[in-house]
Amino acid sequence: MSLGVTLLVVAWGYLVFAAIDFGSEARGGRGEAWWFLGLASLGAVACLFAGLMLVARILRLLATPPAAPSVGHANDVDTVATSEGYVGRRVR
């Protein structure tokens, strides 16, 4: 996933640079450059959005606590898990 974020950020940077270049050409009188400016801008927005979604997914995976091991305990001890992710032991 981190490789995907890196590639998307590089593609975003390239598309932003291309959009700036196409904007200069469009202001200089090339009418078809407006279409390329629009496409490069939409592509840059899509790359940035996808990259941010991948970053959010990576951060969610890093913040999730590991699952509690299912190890059998003695008869007088139970494993307790709360909704906050805390895993502890309760003695009967």
- CA 72: distance to chain centroid? 38
The tens-digit pLDDT sequence of the chain (92 residues) is 889 999 999 999 999 999 999 999 999 888 899 999 999 999 999 999 999 999 999 999 888 877 766 655 555 555 666 666 656 655 55
**Confidence at residue 91, expressed as pLDDT on a 0 to 100 scale:** 53
Hey, what amino acid is at 80? V
**C-alpha span between 39 and 33 (Å, rounded):** 10
Helix, strand or coil, per DSSP, at residue 87? strand
Among candidate residues 63, 72, 68, the one with its CA nearest the CA of residue 80:
68
pTM: predicted TM-score of the whole model, two decimal places: 0.65
